Amino acid sequence: MRHVPRRIGQRLLDDGSAGLPAPAPPAPPAPPAQEGPGGWLDRVPADPGRCPAGGVDDARPRRTGAAGQHDRGPAPETAAGRLVEHPPPGGPPDAVSPAALRRLFLAAAEFIALRHTEERLGDPARRIAAVHREIADSGTYRQTTKELVFGARVAWRNANRCIGRLYWHSLRVNDRRDVTEAQGVADACADHLREATRDGRIRALITVLAPDRPGRPGPRIWNEQLIRYAGYRRPDGGVTGDPRNAGITALLRRLGWPGGPGTPFDVLPLVVQGGVARGGAVPSGGGTPRWFTLPADAVLEVPLDHPEYSWWRGLGLRWHAVPALANMCLEIGGICYPAAPFNGWYMGTEIGARNLADADRYDLLPRVAERLGLDTRTDRSLWKDRALVELNRSVLHSFDRAGVRVTDHHTESRRFLTHLGREESSGRPVGADWSWIVPPISGSATPVFHRTYETVEQHPAYVHHPEAHARARGETQADSDLV
């Protein structure tokens, strides 16, 4: 591991110990900013030792993906169907353990040194010393807006499972750390969607809301993405809509949402759990979750058609334009921002080969194959493959015709290799999970298939805590918590 000069650690740490992670060798300036896709999947496991929202003294081992394996992140932690919540940092500064404070300071020093090196800001000692004093006084510290912007961009650069990292340095960052209560979070999310959408000219954007602080948890967004479609369980055991969202749809009904029209593509409201403002009382779990309907002007959807088949529009398919991940935690320098919705734009296969085609999602391959007149009696007819290609053609054709930005898996694979080349020339290691980087269709026809990668855990990072998975499934400790 790289380290800052020993004298920095010795000068700043009260106990005289050193070993603060330090800057890498100077890197060349980043290439000119351009906009690019953020298309990447969630379910990135958290490192509980670095992020207090995951339990400051939690010593559970980290899990990482391996080539050829689909690591979906840490298993949800529940007891008898009840959510086991990892508490945010609690109590005043003097109630936070010295070990936790030390870990926070080390993470902060590592981050500050990294920024000063990459942005050529000179000796980081003065800033590190100021942060050290702030942590000693309050149990936490406030990052500057420039630090927040740098951290959010580097977290995207460090995302092992993201194929669209070429333009990480162009990520637009909205600093909304003043927002803690549920209504303000919902309003900020709607503003985020409007700014990200731009009538189809999708831009990569993150909105960072209030962080966790000692005794003052930040807000949480329960939905996996800002825009998701409802999944209504039917008496016959099936689901109308997206089965992935059946749990949070049921939770919303318990919260009082009357439901939508009952189509397969009803947009879900947001479920927001407000944080605690400075000086406020600390309710259990940070407050009762509330639901908020997204304004119509914040949600752009694309009806799906096909370049050849006139009957395709009759299938009634559509998908939303902005893939805004909502329940991941942005960890920068030991500070956790549990509500930081982030988006790039879609890679077509995310919709056509996963959301619409997976058997546990919309499962449309049999229906499409039937309309295409394919022989579904045997897999040797390759009916699934042929139906999958047509679904993906439909997505790309429809988004292009609607003027909504989307990328394809062949283009994105080439861009990812360009990203690897740029980062390697800058002396920075690039982590990647093969099983997530290789597209879910025509993998061997893309250049990313024909090489290996190493999963490298680096920080800052976007992480996913086990309780966030549980919330996205609509799991709560008890219905009494909802009133």
Annotated catalytic residues are: 162, 165, 345, 350
Where in 296-374 does DSSP place strands (E)?
A: 301-303, 318-320, 324-325, 329-332, 335-337, 342-343
294-319 burial by CB neighbour count: b if 16+ within 10 A, else e? beeebbbbbebbbeebeebeebebeb
Count of C-beta atoms within a 10 Å radius of residue 121: 13
The DSSP call for residue 204 is: -
Q: What phi-psi label fits residue 259: left (phi over 0), alpha (psi between -120 and 50 degrees) or beta?
A: left
Render 402-462 in DSSP notation, one character per residue. Answer: HT---B-HHHHHHHHHHHHHHHHHTT------HHHHS-SSSGGGSGGGGS-------SSEE
Which of 190, 203, 198 is CA-nearest to residue 267?
A: 190
SS3 per residue for 32-89:
CCCCCCCCECCCCECCCCCCHHHCCCCCCCCCCCCCCCCCCCCCCCEECCEECCCCCC
Q: Helix, strand, or coil here: 480?
A: helix
Query: Does residue 22 contact residue 2 with C-beta atoms inside 8 Å?
Result: yes
Using CB atoms within 10 A of its CB, is residue 81 exposed (0-12), middle (13-18) or buried (19+)?
Answer: exposed
